[in-house]
Structure 1
Amino acid sequence: MQLTRYTDLSLRVLMYLSYPDRADLVTIAEIATQFDVPRNHLVKVVNQLVKLGWVVATRGRSGGIRLGVPAGSLTIGQILREMEGTKALIDCEGEICVLRNGCRLRGALADALQQFYRTLDGYTLADICSAPTAGLIAQMHRLVPTATH
């Protein structure tokens, strides 16, 4: 299994916004620059994160985004389920497969996927943003020129 770029960007945005020592709001342009990703992709990601209530957006000249929930309340499993969906790893219904009626592969993959999510439910956004990641995130925030806000 490989996470989509959309999910990857979602995790990066949430991680960046988890920095607690930031007084002003973060802009999408800032995040795009920090992670060297297209702004257009981030707009879509941030809109979804706002709809989920995980990010709060403020419009206007001094607007921006911030984390909308405590980092300790959001599990990585929850984030991935929401961003990736809970679709089966293999599509036995859409493919013509002679093994479909007696194959155990689909069940084994479904069990593995559930275990994957259960494991990631044991980690919160706060957990993955602790040291040494916290230091890297802090460094990224210190590199932001104040004129961009």
Structure 2
Amino acid sequence: MQLTHFTDLGLRVLMYLSHQDRDTPVTISEIAERFAVSRHHLVKVVHFMAQHGWLITTRGKGGGLALSNPASTYRLGSVIRVLENVTELIDCAEPPCALRGQCQLKSLMDQALDAFFGVLDRYTLADAVASPTGEAIVTLHRMGWTSRPPAALTRG
């Protein structure tokens, strides 16, 4: 299963916001710059996550973003389920499949999806930002790039 760009950005935002030891608020523009992603797409992701209560957003001068809860409360499986909005990998009804009702593939795919999310549900955002990731996030916060971050700090 390949995650959507929307989910990828959502996870990056949550990870970036997990570091809270700073005087100035984190902005969408800052995150877009640090990860070299579209600010426009990031606005959509942040809005979605704020609607789900995962982020606190403050508008205006001095405004910014923060996690609504401690990183240890965000279960990765739950977050990805919502960001992906996926409940099944195969839809046998649309378009109608000639094998519907006599095929094992859907059941196997449903089991695989359950296993995928089951593993992710064992981990939290805090686990995802444990060392060495946490140190890389701190470095991103401390650096004031005007261009792409070093390749060692970008996702592969």
Specify the TM-score bucket, using the shorter chain as the normaliser: over 0.9
In structure 1, how many angstroms separate the alpha carbons of the residues matched to 2:19 and 2:10? 15
With the length of structure 2 as denominator, give the TM-score of the two structures: 0.89
Structure 2 counterpart of 1:36, which letter? A
TM alignment of 1:1-149, pairs within 5 A: 1-144=1-144
Tell me the C-alpha RMSD between the 2 structures.
Answer: 1.1
Q: Distance in 1 between matches of 2:74 and 2:97?
A: 39
* Partner Cα distance (1:89, 1:14) in 2: 25
Q: How many pairs does the alignment contain?
A: 145
Structure 1 segments unaligned to the other structure (5+ residues): none
Give secondary structure in 2 for the equivalent of 1:107.
helix
Query: Matches of 1:103 and 1:4 in 2, distance apart?
Result: 28
CA distance in 2, matches of 1:34, 1:101: 49
Q: How much has 1:98 moved relative to structure 2?
A: 1.9
Q: 1:113 Cα deviation (Å)?
A: 0.3
Q: Which amino acid aligns with 2:10?
A: S
For 1:49 and 1:23, the matched residues in 2 are separated by: 23
2: CA distance, partners of 1:23 / 1:2: 36
Unaligned runs of 5+ in 2: 146-156
TM-score (norm 1): 0.93
Deviations 1:63-89 (A, max 9, x none): 111111110001110111111123310
